[in-house]
Structure 1
Amino acid sequence: MTEIHVRPATPADHDAVGALSVAAYRGDGQTREDHPYEPTLRDAAARAAQAELLVAVDEATGAVLGSVTFALPGSPLAELATEGEAEFRMLAVSPLAQGRGVGEALARACLNRARELGCRSVVICVRDFAADARRLYARMGFVPAPELDWTPQPDVVLLGLRYPLG
C-alpha cells in the first residue's frame, strides 16, 4: 500500500496541483471545460500566496496525489471562517488516486493545523450532490452547519459543515 505524506506545497508542485484540481472537479461533475471556477482551481500559485496550500504525495514516487487550501479568517480565500475558526477549500484528489485515503489525509492535516493554531473549529462547505465527500466528512466527525449553507451561483448549492476542535 502506498504511504501518503502531507506537506506544504512548493512552487514545483503548482502545475501538478492545478491540473489535478481541475481533473478532480471535472471528474465528479462540479465543473466542465468552460466553467468559471476552473481558472481558480488551476492557479495553485495564487492560492499558495493567499493561504496555506498543502499537498499529499506518494512517498515512494513523490507524485502529487491531492491538494487542499487551508485558510484563516481575513485571508482572501476564507469564505466561511470567523474569528477562532479555520477552513479548508478546494480539496482535490487526482482521479487516479481516489479511494486510497488521500482526501482523508488532507482533511486530517487541516484539522491538525487548526489545532496547532488554537482554533476552536474548522468549517467547510461541500456540494449538495457530493455524497462520497459528505460520507467522508460525517465519518470524520464533521456536523451539518445549516447557517453556513450558501449558493454562490444559481446552479451551485454548498452545504456548510463544522468540526469542533474542543
Structure 2
Amino acid sequence: MDILIRPVEPTEYDDLGTITAQAYLQDNLLDFGEGDEYLRVLKDVAGRAAAAEVLAALRDGRVLGGVTFVPSGGPMADIAGPNEAEIRMLAVSHAARGQGVGEALVRSCLARARATPGCRSVVLSTQRTMHAAHRIYERLGFLRTPERDWNPIPELTDITLLTYELTL
C-alpha cells in the first residue's frame, strides 16, 4: 500500500488538525489535556501552513498523518539556527501507526532540506516518551544533541524536550 506525501491541501486542514491533536492527547503528551494551549496550535493547520510547509501523508485519498517542515530561518522554528531546517509536530493517526507513515514523512522532510540552498542539517525536538519517533529518527541517522535540550514551559520544570540533529 503506497503512501503519498505532499503539501496538505486546505480541504484537509481539519482532518490533519484532528489527527495531530488526537495523537498528542491519546499519547498523553499534553500537560493539561484538552485545556492545553498547545492543543490549539496543533489543531491550527492553516496557521502552520501559512508560516511553514505542512506535509500530509495519504493512502487512497485518506489523511493518515502529517508533519511541519520549517526551512532555515522560518518563523515556526523552535531550535533551528542558521543553515538548519526543523521538523515539528510529526503525528500519525493511531490506526495508521506501524505502517511506515512517520518514516515516510521524515524522509520527505530530509529530501526538502537537502533541496534547500545552504541547509546543512535538520533538527527536531521530541518528548522523552515518544519512543517510536525516537526509533525512526535514530534509524534515519539522527543523533541526540543533549546540549540543545530545552524546556518550552520554564515554570513546569519537569518538561524537557530532547533534541536530535542530522547533518546532511
Give TM-score, length-normalised by structure 2: 0.93
Map residues 92-103 of structure 1 onto 2, 5 A cutoff. Answer: 92-103=91-102
Moved more, 151-160 or 48-57: 151-160
Aligned partner of 2:87: which letter? Answer: F
Verify: 1:160 aligned to 2:163, yes or no.
yes
Aligned to 1:104: 103
Deviation at 1:73, TM superposition (A): 3.5
In 1, Cα distance between equivalents of 2:18 and 2:28? 16
- Structure 1 residue ranges (4+ consecutive) displaced by more than 6 angstroms after TM superposition: none
SS where residue 157 of structure 1 aligns? coil
In 2, Cα distance between equivalents of 1:101 and 1:17? 17
Deviation at 1:156, TM superposition (A): 2.2
C-alpha RMSD over aligned residues:
1.0
Map residues 32-71 of structure 1 onto 2, 5 A cutoff. Answer: 32-58=33-59, 61-71=60-70
In 2, Cα distance between equivalents of 1:113 and 1:144? 21
After superposition, give the CA deviation of every residue in 1:112-135 in whole Å (9 maximum; x if it has no partner). 000011311100011012122112
Unmatched runs of 5 consecutive residues or more in structure 1: none
SS where residue 6 of structure 1 aligns? strand
Q: How high is the sequence identity, in percent, across the aligned residues? A: 46
Aligned partner of 1:69: which letter? Answer: T
Aligned to 1:120: 120
Unmatched runs of 5 consecutive residues or more in structure 2: none
Aligned partner of 2:61: which letter? Answer: G
Aligned to 1:148: 148
SS where residue 91 of structure 1 aligns? strand
Deviation at 1:90, TM superposition (A): 0.3
Provide the aligned length of Structure 1 versus Structure 2.
Answer: 162
Map residues 4-23 of structure 1 onto 2, 5 A cutoff. Answer: 4-23=3-22
Aligned partner of 1:38: which letter? Answer: L
Verify: 1:81 aligned to 2:80, yes or no.
yes
Deviation at 1:72, TM superposition (A): 2.3
In 1, Cα distance between equivalents of 2:27 and 2:136? 15
The structure with the greater share of residues assigned to strand is 1
In 2, Cα distance between equivalents of 1:44 and 1:147? 30
After superposition, give the CA deviation of every residue in 1:73-104 in whole Å (9 maximum; x if it has no partner). 43221111111110010001011111111000
In 2, Cα distance between equivalents of 1:137 and 1:28? 18
